[in-house]
Structure 1
């Protein structure tokens, strides 16, 4: 009923899950993750207790494969209908597919990922997801790598019953809002005709609003650029004696406060300011 990938970033700092299904609000049931501990996807007659149990075991240093064995051994329910995938802070991923999961069902695991799905259009769903992950740019931020793999599975047919929901959960120490949370991205599409594409749209918006700017792209707020920014802030009714303060005040109203760096301006903030507040043009 579901296809998912759990994976770890190349630098080992981020862990996450991407999932899609013909199921209402799949993000509320399948994924769980904890920074520096691991990520888990539980599906196919999902046992939601696997989520805290898996993270507790991974947190004590138990390897992903041994954690899967422990989950199955301690499950009093329909084990052969279960499916689960895990990744820890190090070591290879692990996946389990019960023998009675609805066809097509299966998974694949490697050095830094585990992919699994059931009631799929065919084995190409898992195969194409694995190929997308392995051929992807390891330097790309984990949320986007996970989305690429999920998109590959969706294009290969995904859930054979159709599309309904998708979700993305990525954790990394200090990567959340304002640097005070470890939740890098937690996005859900609960009921949509094209949920994976909608998830991609939300991720682009999330990156704009909640990502810190790339220091290499910041522009010095001096000279002609400073004059232009001051003029546009006047037009936006945010003029003031201090340019940095005025820009920060405007950015806070526009929900761009995480992209403000004193003495500089992020090109994405500048684009937004020049557009008069029209995002994603």
Structure 2
């Protein structure tokens, strides 16, 4: 088997309703997230794998930014590549059009599927269903683009996955100013580099990411009063934030703010006197 072959299944996708592009991937390969997924807000997403050429990522994004379609980008990337028959690449362009390429020398099972706003592909797989189920799961999934990408790679693994086993997984989602503090376009960028159950571990980390950085829902914000306040006070004492039994309203709220900032819940911090129920549940389970 050729060195540097990345036996992988991946999906590139676009969510036009939210202006997001992203890639999710799993492989029997160390740190697959450092090589396969590439994306740029407003431009598109790329997965480069098999006998992977990491330069396909930045080069392909530049071509997409110039206005080339997904199919044109793949043609341009592979046309002058003497090892193109060992490559596999998926692309989704700025308009959400997908394209995928699998070289004739890629190890079986290898192939891809293009659907509405996505391109799914894989190589050295147990079966074709790994790719087809991945695409179908994405089509049927609901929620954010990251949610749908996670659903897709879970379905791919259930269908068969990489014939050599499992090792690493990653998800990358970009959107204009969706990053931390609105200072970058990287909405989600998570990796599991070496784990016996990489997709499950990636999902665990993704759920933490949503807890810390996801937006509060109005229906999940409640007043800190009555039994809720008593329970919050109890947990603040249990966790060492409050030491006295009798506390003033100002001391309570100042201490609760300290808790929020210590636990990195600034993104779920509400106006004085209110609490996000996800924070409340987290407190109870600490």
Same fold (TM over 0.5): yes
**Does 2:174 correspond to 1:171?**
yes
Aligned residues: 273
Give the structure 2 partner of residue 49 of structure 1: 55
What CA distance in whole angstroms lies between the structure 1 residues aligned with 2:156 and 2:174? 22
Give the structure 2 partner of residue 90 of structure 1: 95
Q: Which runs of 5+ in 2 are unaligned?
A: 1-6
Give the structure 1 partner of residue 4 of structure 2: none
Shift of residue 157 of structure 1? Answer: 1.3
What CA distance in whole angstroms lies between the structure 2 residues aligned with 1:214 and 1:175? 17
What CA distance in whole angstroms lies between the structure 1 residues aligned with 2:228 and 2:75? 60
What CA distance in whole angstroms lies between the structure 2 residues aligned with 1:232 and 1:195? 33
Give the structure 1 partner of residue 241 of structure 2: 237
Shift of residue 178 of structure 1? Answer: 2.6
What CA distance in whole angstroms lies between the structure 1 residues aligned with 2:282 and 2:226? 20
Give the structure 2 partner of residue 259 of structure 1: 268
Give the structure 1 partner of residue 29 of structure 2: 23
Give the structure 2 partner of residue 273 of structure 1: 283
Contact 1:36 1:172 in 2 (8 A): yes
What CA distance in whole angstroms lies between the structure 1 residues aligned with 2:43 and 2:148? 19
Give the structure 2 partner of residue 248 of structure 1: 257
The one of 183, 186, 207 aligned to 2:186? 183
The one of 199, 219, 224 aligned to 1:221? 224
Give the structure 2 partner of residue 5 of structure 1: 11
Structure 1 length as normaliser, TM-score? Answer: 0.90
**Does 2:211 correspond to 1:201?**
no
Contact 2:241 2:255 in 1 (8 A): no
Contact 1:12 1:90 in 2 (8 A): no
Range 227-236 or range 93-102, more displaced: 227-236
What CA distance in whole angstroms lies between the structure 2 residues aligned with 1:44 and 1:132? 23
Name the CA shift for 1:247/1:69 in 2 (closer, same or farther; >3 Å): same
Q: Which runs of 5+ in 1 are unaligned?
A: none
Cα RMSD, aligned residues only: 1.9
Contact 2:35 2:54 in 1 (8 A): yes
Shift of residue 58 of structure 1? Answer: 1.3
User: Deviation per CA, 1:193-231, whole angstroms, max 9, x where unpaired?
Assistant: 111111111111111122221233211334553454355
Contact 2:13 2:96 in 1 (8 A): no
What CA distance in whole angstroms lies between the structure 1 residues aligned with 2:254 and 2:44? 40
